[in-house]
Each structure stands twice: as C-alpha cells, then as structure tokens.
C-alpha cells in the first residue's frame, strides 16, 4: 500500500491511497470463509456452504465492502499518524477516467480532498477589556415575582364578581358584523386570564361581571397573540391570525387564586423549616433568587461580548470552498440558497470552535464526567425551581441527572456547555473585567 499527500493550497491537501491485491486479498478470503460458515442457502446445510460458491455469488460485493473498510481505516490512521487537523471529513475525488474490474486483481487508487485547520495563536491579555454588568432587581420585578409565588401556593376560590387578575371560564360565540350570531361560526368554551388582556377598555368591560353576564369583545384586541386565540377558540394559529370577528362572551364561572399568607408555614414550604422566619427574610430570599437569574443574563451578555471581540481579533482564514462542498455533500436537502445564506454563520461558529479548542489545549483544561453531572444537576434544578422555589433533595436531583445524561443528545449538549463554560472561565481569568451596576430595564435596552 502506498499513501502520499499533496498540498493543493494553504489549507487544502489531497491524500492519494494506492491499494494492491496483496493489501486486500487476505481480508476478502477471510470474509468469504466467515460468510460461508453463517450462510443458509437451499441445498446446503448451515455452515457447510463451499467458500467457492459464496465467492461466485457474492464475491464482488464482499470485495467492494472490504476495500471500502480498508480505505476508511487507512485514511483515518494516516490522518492520526500525521497529526493532521482537518475540518469536516475527507471528500473523495471522483475520476471518471478510472475504471476498476473488481475481480480481485485490481490495483486501486483513490484520492481524498482534505480541508486543513489553520495554524494560529490565541492572543488574549489584560489589555482586552470587557464590562461585567451587575444587574439590580427593581421593585416592580420583585413585587411581580412575590405575587406569582404567593399565588402558586394559594387556594382557588369562586367569587361572585370578577376583579383584575381573575380567570374567567367563558363561552365564546362568533358574531356577524351586524352583531347577530354568525350561523355556522366558531363556538368554544375557554378560560380567559384577565392579566393577559392588554386593551384597557376591554379589560374594564370584563371586571365586575357575574355568572351568566354577557359582553361583546374584539377577540384580536383582547388576546392579541395568535397562539392564545387559537387555544381559546380551538382553531389553528393560521386561522387565528386572520380572524377579524367580534365574539359574544358569556361568563360561566369566576375563578380567583388567592395569594398565600406570609406565615411560617408558607416560608417553610418554600425554603425548608426555619430557614426564613419573617417577611423581611422572605423578600431578601426572593431578591437573591431574582438577581441570580439576572446574573445569568449578564453572564450571557459578557460571554457574547467576549465571543464577538475575540472573533474580530483572530481573523484567520478557513478552507471556505472545501467547506461549502463538504456541507453540500453531507446535507442532501441543503439548497444553494440556504448554503449562501447560512455559510457566514457556520464559518463564524467554526472559527470560535477552533479558538475554544486552542484555549482548551494550550491550558491543559480537563472536562471530567463529574463536571458534566454537576452541570446537568444545575440545569435540572433551575427547571424545577421555575415551578417551585423549594429545592429537590440532593439524592433525587442526582438520580434525575444520571437519567438525563443517558440520552446521548443531552450528554453531548451538556458536555459542550461545560467546555464553553471552562473556556470562558479561562478567558475571564486573563482579560480585564470592569464591573458596572445597572438597573434591569437599562440592561434589557442594551441587548436590543
């Protein structure tokens, strides 16, 4: 076997592999004998089919399979031995002038095009400066969070008259332009949350209603969101977006979620027995929780700022034409238009991956299984806390994390998240971070 490499550009190469009969004949003969032992053919007992018979019937397909296996192993080993850093996968070069007999006497030659990763150094120092925002919770946000938590632990009542923030159980009937019931139109029973009504005039008309009261509403103005309208009327979002009718709303019931009392029983349910003993401690805990969520938003912005600035600073080339051909070859449904539109983002993310891998390698950063498990636990804990601020027991959370990571996609995604986290931690230990306090509203405006 003969393997050679030819550079065809700064970041491109072609590997030529020549295979002689001596390289593959032994593998082919072994494969034929193995298949003869397993074959079940009419007229022969199992395991007693002559290899010559198998060769006559399946010899060419076995030869093709063994040559392909040999090619794949040879190419993979060559790339590893030569320590070639490639992008994508090798692309076979088609040569219509070459014809093979596939009769166990052929000398094969196959060419593979490689896209090579560029050589570069990561240039990061304390001269690189970034703003690290410390986002403060405003009173309105805190009160909203406190209200939602108290309601989630409250009890449902059915008052006679509706008030703001109540939930109405209603019957909706589509009306004609003249105000009469639209024959064959939409009718539906639904729950309507008054805190979702944005139109002040419509909201006012829905406050003070009793069972069996009727009002007429413009469904688009009342609910605005096509998905909410679709759910209320049991129709598709497309139809909901086009709907222009008024609806008669008849109240069937008024539901009210009373807020839980700020007492010791409530505090113990939320935070564990004796952790919080008064309203001041409760509010401090909620502020801590809210600002913790804001910290995550601020960290995302900092990471994005680092991403953009370091990409601009490390402006190395990629084997773009090879990568375009590779993307087309490995994504059959990818159109030329989609390739043109999406390639810049693909190249940008690939460049960042190369920078990230370089930082990991240069700093001997390890990503251990324990790190991935901890990340999974943190992710699941955050999800559970969306429904209840009280934490899950550690052993139960660990069990959920192990189950979560048994899904290959979850494990790979979590591994990449840990890798990104460790990369940014390394970067932040080098660059200069200038902390700045900011109100939440102003912080949100920065991201627009």
Instruction: HSE, CB side, 13 Å, CA atoms: give it for residue 325.
Output: 13
User: Using N-to-C axis directions, what is the helix angle for 408-428 and 369-385, rounded to 10°?
Assistant: 100
**How high is the pLDDT of residue 390?**
65
> Residue 210 and residue 213: Cα distance in Å, rounded?
6
What are the sequence ranges of the domains in the chain? 2-115, 129-138+269-447, 155-258
Query: Distances in Å between the alpha carbon of 47 and those of 29, 35, 65?
Result: 16, 9, 22
> Residue 286 and residue 278: Cα distance in Å, rounded?
13
**Residues 6+ away with beta carbon under 8 Å from 143:** none
pTM, full prediction: 0.68
Inter-residue contact 317 to 11 (CB < 8 Å) = yes
Closest alpha carbon to 31 in 76, 70, 83, 80: 70
DSSP 63-105: HHHHHHHHHHHHHHHHHHHTT--EEEEEEEEP-TT-----SS-
**How high is the pLDDT of residue 97?**
67
Query: Distances in Å between the alpha carbon of 339 and those of 211, 330, 344, 345, 349?
Result: 58, 12, 9, 10, 15
How does residue 289 score in pLDDT terms, banded at 50, 70 and 90?
Answer: confident
Q: Please state the rounded mean pLDDT for residues 346-372.
A: 95
What are the pLDDT digits (tens) for 323-344? Answer: 999 999 999 899 999 999 999 9
Q: Is the pLDDT of residue 201 over 90?
A: yes
Indicate the pairing of strand 246-258 with strand 167-174.
antiparallel
Indicate the pairing of strand 129-136 with strand 432-439.
parallel
Using alpha carbons only, what angle is made at residue 368 by residues 366 and 371, rounded to the nearest 5 degrees? 110
Inter-residue contact 217 to 244 (CB < 8 Å) = no
What are the pLDDT digits (tens) for 51-101? Answer: 888 888 888 899 999 999 999 999 999 999 999 999 999 999 877 667 787
**How high is the pLDDT of residue 188?**
95
Inter-residue contact 431 to 132 (CB < 8 Å) = no
Inter-residue contact 27 to 73 (CB < 8 Å) = no
**How high is the pLDDT of residue 389?**
60
**How high is the pLDDT of residue 332?**
87
Residue 272 CB neighbours (<10 A) = 11
Q: Is the pLDDT of residue 447 over 80?
A: no
Domains 2-115 and 155-258 share a fold: no
Inter-residue contact 104 to 20 (CB < 8 Å) = no
What are the pLDDT digits (tens) for 234-257? Answer: 999 999 999 989 999 999 999 998
Inter-residue contact 411 to 372 (CB < 8 Å) = yes
**Span of 233-237, 348-352, 366-370, 393-397 with lowest mean pLDDT:** 393-397
Q: What is the mean pLDDT of the chain?
A: 91
Alpha helix ranges (H) inside 82-197? 139-152
Inter-residue contact 86 to 116 (CB < 8 Å) = yes
**Span of 96-100, 171-175, 181-185, 331-335 with lowest mean pLDDT:** 96-100
Closest alpha carbon to 145 in 282, 280, 255, 296: 282
CATH class of the domain whose range is 2-115:
alpha beta
Query: Distances in Å between the alpha carbon of 63 and those of 25, 42, 75, 100, 386?
Result: 8, 24, 18, 12, 59
> Residue 335 and residue 436: Cα distance in Å, rounded?
46
How does residue 140 score in pLDDT terms, banded at 50, 70 and 90?
Answer: confident
**Residues 6+ away with beta carbon under 8 Å from 370:** none
**Residues 6+ away with beta carbon under 8 Å from 224:** 198
**How high is the pLDDT of residue 49?**
81
**For the sheet containing 86-93, what is the strand order?**
2-9, 12-19, 108-116, 86-93
Q: How far apart are the first and last CA of the chain?
A: 59
How does residue 191 score in pLDDT terms, banded at 50, 70 and 90?
Answer: very high
Q: Is 184 left (phi over 0), alpha (psi -120 to 50) or beta?
A: left
Asked if the 155-258 domain carries CATH number 3.30.1360.120, the reply is no
**How high is the pLDDT of residue 292?**
85
Go through 121-145 and write b for each residue having 16 or more CB atoms within 10 A of its CB, e for each that does not.
Answer: ebebeeebebeebebbbeeebbeeb
**How high is the pLDDT of residue 139?**
87
């Amino acid at each position: 076997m003969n393997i050679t490499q030819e550079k065809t550009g700064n970041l491109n190469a072609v590997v030529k592999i020549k295979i002689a009969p001596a390289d593959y004949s032994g593998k082919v003969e072994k494969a034929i004998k193995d298949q003869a032992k397993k074959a079940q053919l009419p007229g022969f007992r199992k395991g007693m089919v002559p290899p010559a018979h198998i060769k006559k019937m399946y010899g060419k397909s076995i030869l093709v399979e063994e040559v392909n296996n040999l090619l794949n192993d040879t190419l993979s080993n060559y790339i590893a031995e030569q320590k070639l850093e490639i992008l994508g996968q090798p692309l076979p070069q088609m040569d219509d002038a070459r014809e093979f007999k596939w009769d166990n006497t052929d000398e094969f030659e196959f060419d593979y095009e490689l896209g090579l990763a560029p050589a570069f150094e990561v240039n990061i120092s304390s001269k690189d400066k970034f703003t690290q925002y410390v986002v403060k919770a405003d009173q309105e946000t805190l009160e909203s969070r406190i209200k939602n938590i108290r309601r989630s632990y409250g009890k449902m009542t059915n008052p006679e008259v509706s008030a703001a923030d109540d939930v109405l159980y209603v019957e909706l009937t589509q009306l004609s332009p003249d105000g009469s019931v639209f024959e064959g139109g939409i009718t539906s029973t639904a729950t309507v949350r008054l805190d979702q009504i944005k139109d002040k005039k419509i909201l006012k008309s829905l406050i003070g209603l009793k069972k069996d009261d009727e009002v007429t509403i413009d469904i688009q103005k009342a609910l605005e969101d096509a998905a909410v309208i679709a759910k209320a009327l049991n129709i598709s979002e497309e139809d909901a977006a086009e709907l222009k009718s008024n609806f008669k709303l008849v109240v069937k019931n008024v539901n009210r979620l009373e807020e839980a009392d700020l007492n010791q029983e409530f505090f113990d349910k939320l935070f564990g027995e004796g952790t919080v003993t008064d309203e001041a401690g409760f509010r401090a805990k909620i502020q801590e929780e809210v600002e913790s969520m804001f910290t995550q938003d601020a960290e995302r912005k900092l990471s994005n700022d680092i991403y953009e600035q370091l990409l601009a600073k490390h402006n190395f080339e990629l084997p773009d034409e090879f990568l375009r051909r590779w993307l087309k070859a490995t994504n059959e449904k990818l159109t030329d238009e989609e390739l043109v539109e999406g390639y810049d983002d693909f190249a940008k993310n690939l460049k960042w991956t190369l920078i990230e891998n370089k930082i990991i390698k240069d700093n001997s950063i390890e990503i251990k299984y324990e790190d991935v498990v901890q990340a999974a636990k943190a992710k699941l804990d955050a999800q559970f806390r969306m429904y209840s601020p009280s934490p899950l027991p550690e052993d139960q959370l660990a069990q959920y994390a192990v189950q979560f990571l048994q899904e290959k996609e979850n494990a790979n995604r979590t591994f990449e998240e840990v890798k990104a986290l460790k990369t940014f931690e390394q970067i932040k230990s080098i660059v200069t971070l200038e902390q700045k306090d900011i109100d939440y509203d102003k912080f949100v405006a920065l991201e627009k």
